[in-house]
A and B are shown apart, each in its own frame.
Chain A
Amino acid sequence: MAFVQNLPFICILLSLFTGPLSSILSGKMTKKLNLVMITAVGIMSAMVLAFTVKSGEAYTYMMGHFPAPWGNEIRVGVLEALLATVFSVIMLLCIVGGSKEREEELESTKQNLYYIMANLLFCSLLALIYTNDIFTAYVFVEINTISACGLIMIRQNGRTIEASMRYMIMSLLGSGLLLLGICFLYDLTGHLLMSNIKEQVQILAATGEYQIPLLVCITLMTVGLAIKSALYPFHTWLPDAYGYSTMSSSAILSSLVSKGYIILLIKIYYRVIGIDVIRASKITNVLFVFGLVGMVMGSVNAIKENNIRRMIAYSSVAQIGYIYMGLGLGSEIGVIASVFHILSHAASKALLFVAASGITRASGKNKDFASLTGAGFRNRLAGIAFTIGSLSMVGFPTFAGFISKFWFAQAAFENANHTKTMLALIVLIISTVLNALYFMKTVIRIYTPAPALAKEKNYQNITVRGQAPKSFAMICFVAMNFMLGMCSDPIMKLIQSGLEMFG
């Protein structure tokens, strides 16, 4: 067995132990440690990716000395490795990009706590991606929740605490349902390892026994994860959580955390229940409908918003709607589109958050639109970055969003059910226009020269050097956007092969 195969496990452990380690180090040190750790993880995941691509098949990694039905396992395929790589890159950039805000908004004594949370969060994300044991998945979901909550509340003001309370409540409801679903599943199949569960479920499906309990636990798990990943009607916690926490937190939360749950959902569908069973149970249609509603309503709320951060937050509600719509189409290509959108949205949404903070800094930390006027001239790089992010969101060619829009449309088109097709296409059009409505409004606003009375708003000009880390992050994100937009084929192929390994 090649040494590379150990790396996923090592990644998880590394990120897990750097957490407690950070608690005894000073703020500066922890930051360095965290950055090093994430970079290392990124590199390792890249190696794993290369390995799996070369070997062309997934492998399971036994943790401890118990063989399959009893022990706990990690499973590594192309998709997992890819996600791990991308997530670590984005994580890194988010941390870098938000460093200035953290130094200002967090008390100096709490600096290191932030990194504890960040590391734990990262660890749990990796675990969610890699694990082959559904109960382990549950445990890491909880860890994920707790650390995310920490990331939100670490900026101490009433808003964030209230937001994190809200967040906790909703996600605990979600995880409660998830747990119950898992228990049912265990009860039905007597297994916790995904692959074994799947065998049993296949048998059940074949014999036609326990249809209703099976359906129930599918529903429970789906709803639980939907709540946690803020699918439209359950999004109430999201805008506050993203809107008021410190910048890097909201970037991480919006681009990674909620996506982690969706990944888990996809894993459950493919590796626990089996996609054909899912299709047979019409749950996809439900997801489809909610996705469509989310696509529209999220944007509508965003249009009403007057605070740029909250606006972006609402836009991620819409984007999550896209993803669920893709899942809801129930076809292979639909899921591919969703996974790709997870990546592209992660790239552009993080970019938007970073750029938005750059813009607001240039406008005296005011987040309302009136005072953002002309920010594009005060902080040029941020302005350009924001424009690119918006265009990508709107689905402008040569940017990431365009490709995912294309694949969604393609998926919708290849759907056998024409009502679904037309619905999806029309809603895609509508939501594109709505996206344009609020993103372009902002872009035009930040390129309108500021009125004369701008003095008392303590505007300041920010050069590229003046915000070096942020600039670095933004440039990287822009590059990612272009890469995803221009040469998406290899990535699509990776995703495809990864899903095949799932099945």
Chain B
Amino acid sequence: MGIWILLPIILPIVTGMYLLISSFLKHLKSTESELKTADGSLKPVVLLTLIVSVAAAFYASWTGDKSITLFYLMKDIPICFKVDAVAALFVTVVSIVWLLVGFYAFPYMSHEGEEKRYFGFYLVVYGVLMGLNFSGNLVTLYLFYELMTVTSMPMVLHNGSREAIMAALKYLFYSMCGAYMALFGIFVLNKYCDTLAFVAGGSLNTVLAQGNETIILIAVMAMLIGFGVKAGMLPLHAWLPAAHPVAPAPASAVLSSIIVKGGVLAIVRVVYYVVGADVIRGTWVQYAWLILSLLTVFMGSMLAYREPVFKKRLAYSTVSQVSYILFGLAVLTPAGITGALLHVVFHAFIKCTLFLTAGIFIFQCGKSRVDELEGIGKCMPKTLWCYTFAALALIGIPPASGFISKWYLAQGAFDSQIGILGWGGIVVLLLSALLTAGYLLPITMKGFFTEKKTEELEFEKGEPPMAMLMPLMILAFLAMILGVLPSGMIDYAAQIAATIL
């Protein structure tokens, strides 16, 4: 029943292309004045497509194990899709977030303009992400990884300011650089692995590999750094704080919560499904990886702490949070992986919430700097409450969700045989948790408790429209509730970890 896999990939892409082309033609024909008038057909089309494909995606991922081979790109290199536990997990998260942000985006984009183009790309990227998550071998993954870069770039430069374009190009080149490093790895692994298809536990051919360990390890390291670019890992992280803030809030929300996870997924696939964890366990690769991720964690939170612009601050926090996940993967223990996978989910919801809040602040009263937000809680308390819940979750205060994942990460670090790095890792995690508190909570504090009177606050509007508030609340709720009753998810993640180690 491959159709259910293909549908969520094909449908959004087709619809998105249709939207793009139609908007393009409209530009060709009509004058600037006519362009201002948005057409009503857009919203139903987009939502319908999204809902249908999301439904299909869920169906595909939660009804048993399926796979489909489209065609052969080259000899024994097929373009094929396959559903397994990891794919299902990622697909679910992505779909939920995408749907909610889709709702949120309509009112928001109405004052950004060029909605048709935006939603066109929005749909295309969704399709590409589905392809990425379902992809059944390394080449397919690489294909959709590249496509993801190319198609998500226009979302970054949406508002077309000079800065945005520069940021977009930066994003493009960093990702390309990463992709090509990964490609190098693929070239090498194609020789030393039995197959590039994903096999739990990896498929490295020990006979061939005999004596070529060095080049293989170099290849793996290259792939880690390469895919790490998307995940904002050192040393190639600099694009992230530049690119995410300039995008429109919904875009930066998905970029920062979902797109970065593309890198994570790729790394999971490479390490646990192609090479196999045992190959790199205890080698310099693992240590380098650990060190890099820990450095990123710490540096990210430090920079976030010093950052006055709200969205930029959130972007830096993304840098550090995603490296939590990478750290969890790098310790190569069941607990670590569990923690990592959990953190994938939680961070997706949390970071999305935070960015959407930032978006609302900008949308309602055009405030983008932290110090301008003093007393904001007085006029839009609901929004700020959602923000606060999310913040608590991110910091990892029980019972909020972040706590669970971090707990497992720490545990993973304990029972791995990586000596000092394990301890150091835990210390760094705690430190950066403190920093996280340091850069997130002040907004809540200043927002609610200010000595200014209500009338001397110069916020022109109050709470945002329901269409924007609702997704926010849902996400915040998810961020909390998953922390309160996490058992189901933990089992799921632990099961995955068990199968792939």
Direct contact of A and B (CB under 8 A): no
Show the binding face of A for B, using Cβ within 8 Å.
Answer: none
Show the binding face of B for A, using Cβ within 8 Å.
Answer: none
